[in-house]
Amino acid sequence: MNHVMYPEMLWLLLLPIVFRYILPAAKGLHGDALKVPFLRDLEQINIKAGGLWNMRAHDEAKIAMPLVLVYMIWALLVLAAARPQWVGEPMRLPGMSRDILLVVDISNSMREPDFTLGNRRIDRLTAIKKTASEFIKKRADDRVGLVLFGSQAYLQAPITYDKKSVEEILWATDAGMAGNSTSIGDAIGVALKSLKDSKDIDKKIIILMTDGENNSGVLTLPQAINLAKEEGVKIYTIGVGADTALVQSILGFQMALPSGLDEESLNEIAKATQGTYFRAKDTSSLEKIYAEINKLEASENEAQFVRKTIELFYWPLGAALALALVLLWVVRRV
């Protein structure tokens, strides 16, 4: 689509006509002058050239060829000053990118079926897979990675824009693949090491999901917290699972035991890194938690658009220069 940036400049096209027909004739030693000061000289050139421009002395309104060239040059200069442009289709301006690392507990306790989905009992890990996948889909401008941990922590998906692959890896995981214990400190350490390579990203986020306490690994929670603070990484922690867990006794009946979730430590991790601690006791609350995180870390510039613009002023400017050279050649020839 073509348009001019300063359309008001086009009014200058009328300026020569104003000088020619509206302003009064100038009085001087040489008698009355024409309204356009240089018109008399052009008329004399025309006479000497044998009527080259076919100007009649009794009709000053008749514009000869050199005047046409002068006006064309003026018009082209005015058009160049108006800044003609070609403007393309609007393109969405990407928001500010974040690096988000999902750190998921896959210890054996994540098999506990204390969540529901569509009136069907599901385990904690399946609930996390579902809600985390929906969260990943909404992060259009961000890079996402995945760390899985149990007794040990593993970087399963480095930070990437290929969020589909991250979802596939998450859905392919099973509880117990990384051991029976819970090494939260090591998981945070692996996540921080992965995010350390993100040098051009200002906002780095870890979303830690677990149903236990830090009872394994090399890195302690205070050490992990200090590392996160040094790196400027915000950690959102999510405690997963009901308040009590059903355990099969040796006599064959079930009994309810308190959950092994260490909420105090998870809250401390979040508070120290300027994040937030959430408690997810069912699928609905887990969905609300991800919605809240999505709101807290909303993408910036989401509704802004930009159009590709190509300047075209140099075309009329070049044409005006070419006509000026033609006019100069004609005058010198005469």
Q: How far apart are CA 320 and CA 8, in angstroms?
A: 20
Please determine, for residue 158, whether its predicted confidence score (pLDDT) is greater than 70. Answer: yes
3-state secondary structure of 188: helix
Whether residue 118 sits in one domain with residue 45: no
CATH code: domain of residue 175: 3.40.50.410
> Which residue is listed with tokens 């922590």?
153
Residue 279 lies in a domain: yes
In this prediction, residues 30-59 reach a mean pLDDT of: 48
**Is pLDDT of 333 > 80?**
no
229 and 103, same structural domain?
yes
Number of Cβ within a 10 Å radius of residue 115: 26
d(CA 310, CA 270): 49
Query: Rounded distance, CA 125 to CA 246, Å?
Result: 17
Looking at the domain assignment, is residue 301 inside a domain?
Answer: no
Mean pLDDT of 276-282: 91
pLDDT one-digit tens code per residue, 88-122: 777 655 556 789 999 999 999 898 888 888 888 89
Q: Judge if 6 and 104 occupy the same domain.
A: no
What pLDDT shows up at residue 276? 94
Residue 50 clears pLDDT 80, i.e. is over it: no
Is the domain of 119 the same as that of 70? Answer: no
Q: Is residue 273 part of a domain?
A: yes
Task: Specify if 10 maps to a domain.
Answer: yes
Same domain, 44 and 115: no
Whether the pLDDT of residue 58 is over 80: the answer is no
| Mean pLDDT of all residues in 211-228 | 91
Residue 233 domain-assigned (yes or no): yes
With CA atoms as reference, report the closest residue to 264 among 184, 178, 192. Answer: 184
The partner residues of 321 in beta bridges, in order of sequence, read none
Name the band, by pLDDT with cuts 50, 70 and 90, for residue 265: very high
How much is the average pLDDT of 23-48?
Answer: 52
Structure confidence at residue 118 (pLDDT): 80
pLDDT tens digits, 229-244: 999 999 999 999 876 6
Q: Is a pLDDT exceeding 50 seen at residue 54? A: no
Query: For the chain, how many structural domains are there in total?
Result: 2
Percent of the chain with pLDDT over 90: 38
Examine the domain organization and report whether 30 and 139 are in the same domain.
no
Decide: 213 and 242 in contact? Cβ < 8 Å: no
CA pair distance 74, 55, nearest whole angstrom? 21
Tell me: pLDDT of 26 over 80: no
Are 85 and 102 within one domain? Answer: no
Q: What domain range is 57 assigned to?
A: 2-89+307-333
Contacts of 281 (CB under 8 A, 6+ apart): 241, 242, 243
The pLDDT of 155-167, averaged and rounded, is 92
Higher pLDDT, 65 or 253: 65
Q: Answer with the residue of higher pLDDT: 220 or 66.
A: 220
Whether residue 65 sits in one domain with residue 169:
no
Domain check: are 209 and 324 in the same one? no
Question: What is the rounded average pLDDT of the residues 272-280?
Answer: 93
Of 129, 104, 105, 124, residue with least CA distance to 114: 124
The rounded mean pLDDT for the chain is 80
Q: What is the pTM of this model?
A: 0.61
305 to 27, 85, 92, 308: CA distances (angstroms): 59, 18, 4, 10
Which residue type is seen at 9?
Answer: M
Is 37 domain-assigned? yes
CA distances from 86 to 92, 99, 318, 320 (A): 18, 36, 17, 20
Tell whether 302 is covered by a domain.
no
pLDDT of residue 60: 44
Please give the pLDDT value at position 119: 82
> Residue 133: what pLDDT?
93
Instruction: Examine the domain organization and report whether 157 and 279 are in the same domain.
Output: yes
258 and 187 share one domain: yes
Taking only the tens place, the pLDDT of each residue in 166-200 is 999 999 999 988 888 899 999 999 999 999 877 65
Residues 143 and 268 in one domain: yes
| Residues 293, 275: Cα–Cα separation, whole Å | 10
Do 195 and 204 meet the contact criterion of CB atoms below 8 Å apart? yes
Q: Which amino acid is at 325?
A: L
The predicted pLDDT at position 62 comes to 41
